[in-house]
Homo-oligomer: A and B are copies of this chain.
Amino acid sequence: MAERGFPEAEFHRRRDALQGEMARHGLDALLLTSAADVFYVTGFLTRFWESPARPWFVVVPGTGDPVAVIPSIGAALMGQTWLSDIRCWDAPFPGDDGVSLLADALAGLVPEGGEIGVPMGLETQLRMPLADYADVAARIAPRRFVDGTAAVQRVREIKSEAEIDRIRAACGVADRAFARVGEYAAAGVPLERVFRDFQRVLLEEGADWVAYTAGGAGPGGYGDVISPAGSRPLQAGDVLMLDTGAVRDGYFCDFDRNWAIGPADDTAKRAYGALYAATGAVLRDLRPGMLARDVHGQFIRELAARGTVPGGGRLGHGLGITLTEWPSFTAHDTTVLRAGMVLTLEPGVEIAPGVIQVHEENIVLRADGAELLSARAPEALPELT
């Protein structure tokens, strides 16, 4: 298992990288509000984000260290991070829930007329009340909020070796858990019991928590990949898929595995074989400098060449502090792939109307190509009997 947490040097590197991108984009500060961005800059790790009651703010100035503006309930935990400037209010406080404290912090850190980057683009959300955001914007004028998405994403998308180690550890948890599915999944077992046992085993194998599980099961394939489990028992002829975002030390894995319940039919086996081969081709050819849409294109070609109908939607994405990160392997994403990106390869095929099969592996892109972080799926569809 990788060591817990990060040395302070890791956070200095992140600060410096963000400030470099900020300078390139003409930003005088960044205002960060999401669990992922705050964790990235500070190391502040808690499941308390599950409570929508309170906003949390970190300001990264153009030079110098980040400043946390947070509810008092987080003072002790934030006090254990590398940050020294931590400003608190007793939230939730109707009428001024951190608004004046945040506005004062921004006014003190950003020159008049300065621009403050806020992630506003694709795959971002502002995690604070919208009315309070407008209020802060009015208070800090003539300073302005502008889109800071690119500055954050160009930095976060390149993982350090320490981050890659964490994601590899999370993948190892899932590898070990997937190897044990035969202990509890079999014909006659309701899918909801399989989901519950899968989460239990992920914890036993070292997950700190299980932020995401999904899956499906049905004759030859399943209907979608985001549904919660129902009470239908597994049946001979089903293909079962389990997918997970298990978290270890604040980092996710995100990959799935498929099994046939009893002997698989030829259609399911062919779909599996095509997905395995298409993944192999991308694993072989992926290089820095390609665009995200190139990966999508290769998947579509490889799957079609094997006589299968490629699935719609994105066929993989970034991964790390959240279950999914940019870029997206769609026909439209022109993000340049670079060494240090951690990515999922997630091709899918449609076997029949409303019946799909999806594979997924996690990799880190190196200068010379893809390095697997998940153990490679079996070459042929495994059977549970």
Which A residues from 83 to 128 make CB contacts under 8 A with B? 90-95, 97, 118-128
Q: Mark A291-313, 1 if CB is under 8 A from B, else 0.
A: 00000000000000000000011
**Is B46 within 8 A of A227, CB to CB?**
yes
**Is A226 within 8 A of B73, CB to CB?**
yes
List residues of chain B with CB within 8 A of the CB of A209.
199, 210, 213
* This chain: copies in complex: 2
Whole-angstrom CA separation of A127 from B227 in the bound complex: 20
Q: Interface residues of A, CB < 8 Å — how many?
A: 78
Residue picked from A118, A200, A212, A224, most chain B C-beta under 10 Å: A224
Select from chain B the residue with minimum beta-carbon distance to A199. Answer: B203
**Is B224 within 8 A of A52, CB to CB?**
no
Across the interface, A45 reaches (CB within 8 A) one of B53, B121, B228, B313, namely B228
List residues of chain B with CB within 8 A of the CB of A72.
312-313
**Is A120 within 8 A of B126, CB to CB?**
no
Residue A9 at the B interface, CB < 8 A? no
**Is B192 within 8 A of A196, CB to CB?**
no
**Is A330 within 8 A of B204, CB to CB?**
no
**Is B211 within 8 A of A313, CB to CB?**
no
Known: A92-B330, A124-B130, A203-B200. A324 touches B76 (CB 8 A): no
List residues of chain B with CB within 8 A of the CB of A34.
52
List residues of chain B with CB within 8 A of the CB of A48.
212, 214, 226
Q: Which residues of A contact B (CB under 8 A)?
A: 4, 34, 36, 45-48, 50-53, 71-74, 76-77, 90-95, 97, 118-131, 133, 147, 192, 195-196, 199-200, 203-204, 207-214, 223-229, 231, 245, 312-314, 317, 322-324, 326, 328, 330, 332-334, 354
Q: List 18 A-B contacts (CB under 8 A).
A: A34-B52, A47-B211, A47-B213, A48-B214, A48-B226, A51-B324, A52-B125, A53-B314, A73-B313, A76-B224, A77-B224, A92-B330, A94-B332, A97-B122, A120-B130, A122-B129, A126-B126, A199-B209
Known: A47-B211, A200-B200, A208-B229. 4 other contacts (CB 8 A): A34-B52, A51-B324, A53-B123, A73-B226
